[in-house]
Structure 1
Amino acid sequence: MASTRRPTYTPVRGKETSGAGSRPGTQEDGGTDDVISASRNVPAATGKPASSGRIPPGKTSTGKTSTGKASPGKDAPAPGANVLAFPEPKGRRRRRRVLTAVATVCVLVAALLAAAIYSPVLALHTVSVSGTSLLSPAQVQAALEPLKGKPLPQITDDEVRSLLEPLVQVKSVSAEARPPSELAVIVRERIPVALVKQGEQYKLVDVDGVQLATTADPAAVSLPLIDGGAGAIGQDLFKATAAVLGALPADVLAKLSNASAKSVDAVELKLVDGQTIVWGNASEKELKAKVLAALLKVPADPKNPVQVYDVSVPRHPVTR
């Protein structure tokens, strides 16, 4: 606040000088002129006496020494003095806001995931089963009973496969969660390709020799009988014969009565009508299966019935 006090004017007598170096305002004859000087007293804001305005030797008007170093304690702001606050750069402020938003989103996502994984709202109550023929859906559901009450996001395919492992009919399985409480299980069963006799029973086996079911009436199952019985399972002849049967389409497989092999290169099949199929070894079995299916569709000639279908060389099949 500007001072309202009027300046005071004090007459000052000049010193008497003589000679050519007399200062202005003096008279060479020893007389003096009156010189007026002005001064103004400004109240100190801190309650201390006002400075005389003189700058000590060796210091600048900013409080620093002539060497560029600040005087100790002279440049520190007095208590209660105003300090300029510079605004934060826009880039830094924007970066801080982005980081805050990202952290908030991450926390929300983590909370939602935790709620979904552990929430009892998504607990398993119903298991639906499809793809079974050898097994019943009830058998699969009973095997998966330990999963009941577990949240769907925590159930994995590996866990489902582990529980169904005792069911030898299951070759592979996949599971699909259907919120809020259903698990859809798709079963892919092993395919029986032949019968093997074991005592008075007949075992249904797949190409790997896995026994899938049992029947007392082989006529009730449209599968060929592998000679040698259950003791042949696991031997080379059984593997060669089972590999051939596994390559045949279902309609051709249903027309067979039995299969045998004198060696791995001499597999023979018998049709229910009595014809013989010379298959040879297990090489090119897919091509041989297609050729045999085409030959069996050829209308029979009553005057010259076919007794042997030889597909051992599939590119040059022979009938006789």
Structure 2
Amino acid sequence: MIPLLVCDDSAMARKQLIRALPADWPVSITQAAHGEEALAAIRQGLGPIMLLDLTMPVLDGYQTLAALQAEGLQSQVIVVSGDVQDEAVRRVRELGALDFLKKPADPALLLETLQRHGLYQAANQPSSAPPAPRAELELKINFRDALREVTNVAMGRAAALLAKVLGVFVQLPVPQVNIFEVSELHMTLLDAQRGERLSAVCQGFIGDGIAGEALLLFHDSEVADMARLMRWQPADDAETAEMLLDLASILIGACLSGLAEQIDVRFSQGHPQLLGLHASIDHLIQLNQKRWKKTLAVEISYSLEGQDIHFDLLLLFTEDSIRRLTHKINYLLS
């Protein structure tokens, strides 16, 4: 049996990736939830081949590849990530990765990649013999982990588009998934404000029984830097608002498109609306407290490398959408 290490913080992602492996590949699979666990497994000889995610807590994929080089550890690494920025691909190759595949991994492309690098060799058994069952497929996946992973892939595609528009590298977080009462949402937004004044753009979406709003928060102290990156020179608040609406349309649209593609939904999107310019969170809450009651919230905080700029994106799903969204995500796992 060939030792294979699958490193990803999402149990859903590990399950999808293990399912995508060639059925007749005789591998013994070890799983790791972050880079530190992966390095410990490799030191024990359990990871001569590794499939590695990039966006993880504790030790991310870039740091893991760097640590492999620093320690002189031997592992042939194929990165499988939702972060599909051109710069991400370039960096992992520079750090020694053999190849890069986007999530979710296509089984045919994964097989071709393993063959091209001489990593795949079919089991020496009659073709009529059924493959041995993989106990790893019995992973228990909860709804929040699954939604977090689906969002991770969607935000990676949005980041790739944003990176091209702004000419920067977008640093991606692990998305946060929570079910909030409106008072809890208020506290979360207050925390995001960090004592600053904000401008906020909201865009509604609906499709196949799933509805909600995307809320994008910009810190006013960073707007001038964003204008510089976008080669805008806003002369007044009206032009600033136009710039923020354009940027929000790119980021929200790409993220929703990536989400819709994975769960097989076609979202209709409303026009982005400016909720407030140079406003406090309290004002934004007062404007929208009737719409934001109990909600499923996915929080993504993008930041731009080398810039003091970040965006807080909240995908707020209505309470009535949770059942349908759960059904759609469960279908991905069946």
The verdict on a shared fold, with TM-score over 0.5 as the criterion, is no
Q: Given the two structures, how large is their TM-score scaled by the length of structure 2?
A: 0.20
Q: How high is the TM-score relative to the length of structure 1?
A: 0.21
- Higher relative contact order (CA closer than 8 Å, sequence separation 6+): 2
Instruction: Compare CA radii of gyration and give the structure with the larger one.
Output: 1
